[in-house]
Chains A and B, each alone.
Chain A
């Protein structure tokens, strides 16, 4: 990429059940933080790229570009990018293209989701908007679709329910060090294993929660004259696969992840070994196992064992730290905001601002954001320069 794009400001709300907070307030909170962090005012923003999935389906509110532009008091170009749970990563990619095209210099990427206004059944059904019609007619849910992937992985590679639970243990531990995470306490593995089944073998605590939240980043074209230490996005890749699981070529991987990650490594000119921290899309524990393998951090089939042994955890040396924020599982998963939050975490880590969960010497970070059961995968690589 010829144009160099820097992340100059980040912000995010608490993630959780924010009953009294409206989508407008969520956005306002996250954007204010980002604007202050960037040392700018709102008037410096030239475009807004909104990431959201459910506002139209559940809240009957579309046209979010105009809504948030109004809320922020700036009449700039603004529109929504949607790709289910990958909306955040896709909005970031779109924002980058807008800068690279020369059209804008400074833009805002805002991921927002309000999920707790509706019953769990309504939310579950709305989320299936990310799947295929056939899957909806079959009574599938997202836990169900990922359960099919989990069972296939367990059948082929001997991955166990304990391996799955280990992902949750790690991410809850990380979240306990993240003041903005939905869950603030570590959870023992036995508690996870004893939680009620949602879709065999996935239990309640194998699944990411229903969350409200917003995250914002401000991107700016980097002028070559600027010498200051900053965080740059050096790769942004998207891959798509079939909408429904039935037509995938394999149930043992998310091929879109593999393609997007591979393309990102080439674009950034690096290998997985050089990644210090990675935010992977752990909508379910099995999803993190698949992501670690599909991004090339381990051989296929090995991730479960390695997580159980403590690798990829904060404080364990020599390996990439996975989901220092707590991931979707423990930091929370406000669908449209997640992809943006991942970038917020990476940028904050690279700038040494993560306090108790700081990954030492973090220099290169990666974000992996998935839509549906793997129909879209977006990978970004950021580095401090």
Chain B
């Protein structure tokens, strides 16, 4: 079980990130995941930059990497992050979803 207090603290950053639009500047596909990410693997991991020049490292969701490239636009969303025990608090966090190709 992951510390509920740590989870609670980590989630405080979610509100200000939710819905931000960013651009991929580097990406890879994690095929050998760390503990807590087994069910999600393989998944793309990317560095995203925003208009204000800040950057974050996130997992990309709803994407197998085939359409991903430097410059792909993404939107920040909330998803479950680290897989935990059945009786633990569920950690949520920020991930990035490629923006609908029809948009923009």
**Does A152 lie within 8 Å of B45, measured CB to CB?**
no
Distance (whole angstroms) from the CB of A72 to the closest CB of chain B: 34
In the assembled complex, the Cα of A138 lies from the Cα of B61 at a distance in Å of 11
**Number of chain A interface residues as a range:** 35 or more
Of A140-148, A293-301, A336-344, the segment with at least 4 beta carbons within 8 Å of chain B is: A140-148
Which listed residue (A139, A143, A247, A251) contacts B37, Cβ 8 A? A139
**Does A125 lie within 8 Å of B36, measured CB to CB?**
yes
Which listed residue (B29, B33, B43, B57) contacts A246, Cβ 8 A? B57
Residue of A nearest to B92 (CB): A137
> Which of chain B's residues 18-38 have a Cβ closer than 8 Å to chain A?
25-38
How many contacts A-B (CB < 8 Å)? 95
Tell yes or no: A200 within 8 A of B by CB. Answer: yes
Tell yes or no: B56 within 8 A of A by CB. Answer: yes
In the assembled complex, the Cα of A372 lies from the Cα of B24 at a distance in Å of 22
**Does B26 lie within 8 Å of A144, measured CB to CB?**
no
**Does B43 lie within 8 Å of A134, measured CB to CB?**
no
In the assembled complex, the Cα of A134 lies from the Cα of B35 at a distance in Å of 15
Which listed residue (B27, B30, B32, B41) contacts A151, Cβ 8 A? B27
A-chain residues with CB within 8 Å of residue B29 when the two chains form the complex: 197, 199-200
Residue of B nearest to A196 (CB): B31
**Does A199 lie within 8 Å of B35, measured CB to CB?**
no
In the assembled complex, the Cα of A143 lies from the Cα of B45 at a distance in Å of 11
> Which of chain B's residues 60-88 have a Cβ closer than 8 Å to chain A?
65, 70, 81-82
- A–B complex contacts, Cβ < 8 Å, 12 sampled: A134-B56, A137-B81, A138-B59, A141-B30, A144-B30, A148-B27, A151-B27, A152-B26, A198-B32, A201-B28, A246-B47, A247-B55
Tell yes or no: B93 within 8 A of A by CB. Answer: yes
**Does A133 lie within 8 Å of B57, measured CB to CB?**
no
**Given known A-B contacts A133-B10, A199-B45, A138 and B58 have beta carbons under 8 A apart:** yes
In the assembled complex, the Cα of A183 lies from the Cα of B17 at a distance in Å of 46
Tell yes or no: A37 within 8 A of B by CB. Answer: no
**Given known A-B contacts A137-B93, A139-B34, A199 and B28 have beta carbons under 8 A apart:** yes
In the assembled complex, the Cα of A137 lies from the Cα of B28 at a distance in Å of 16
Tell yes or no: A244 within 8 A of B by CB. Answer: yes
**Does A121 lie within 8 Å of B28, measured CB to CB?**
no
Which listed residue (B30, B32, B57) contacts A244, Cβ 8 A? B57
**Does B59 lie within 8 Å of A144, measured CB to CB?**
no
Which listed residue (B31, B38, B47) contacts A197, Cβ 8 A? B31
A-chain residues with CB within 8 Å of residue B59 when the two chains form the complex: 138-139
**Given known A-B contacts A137-B82, A138-B57, A251 and B26 have beta carbons under 8 A apart:** yes
A-chain residues with CB within 8 Å of residue B36 when the two chains form the complex: 125, 139
Tell yes or no: A55 within 8 A of B by CB. Answer: no
**Does A139 lie within 8 Å of B28, measured CB to CB?**
no
Residue of B nearest to A207 (CB): B32
In the assembled complex, the Cα of A12 lies from the Cα of B58 at a distance in Å of 40
**Does B32 lie within 8 Å of A199, measured CB to CB?**
yes
**Does A139 lie within 8 Å of B27, measured CB to CB?**
no
Q: Beyond the given A124-B34, A197-B29, could you list 20 further A-B residue pairs with CB under 8 A, ordered by the A residue number?
A: A121-B33, A122-B35, A125-B34, A125-B36, A137-B81, A138-B59, A139-B30, A139-B34, A139-B40, A139-B43, A139-B45, A144-B45, A148-B28, A199-B28, A199-B32, A200-B28, A200-B31, A201-B28, A202-B28, A245-B57
Distance (whole angstroms) from the CB of A33 to the closest CB of chain B: 35
Distance (whole angstroms) from the CB of A119 to the closest CB of chain B: 8
Which listed residue (A121, A133, A151, A245) contacts B34, Cβ 8 A? A121
Tell yes or no: A253 within 8 A of B by CB. Answer: no
**Given known A-B contacts A138-B57, A141-B30, A200-B29, A148 and B45 have beta carbons under 8 A apart:** yes
A-chain residues with CB within 8 Å of residue B45 when the two chains form the complex: 138-140, 144, 148, 199
Distance (whole angstroms) from the CB of B7 to the closest CB of chain A: 10
B-chain residues with CB within 8 Å of residue A288 when the two chains form the complex: none
In the assembled complex, the Cα of A196 lies from the Cα of B40 at a distance in Å of 19
B-chain residues with CB within 8 Å of residue A133 when the two chains form the complex: 10
A-chain residues with CB within 8 Å of residue B27 when the two chains form the complex: 148, 151
**Given known A-B contacts A139-B45, A155-B70, A246-B57, A199 and B31 have beta carbons under 8 A apart:** yes
A-chain residues with CB within 8 Å of residue B38 when the two chains form the complex: 121
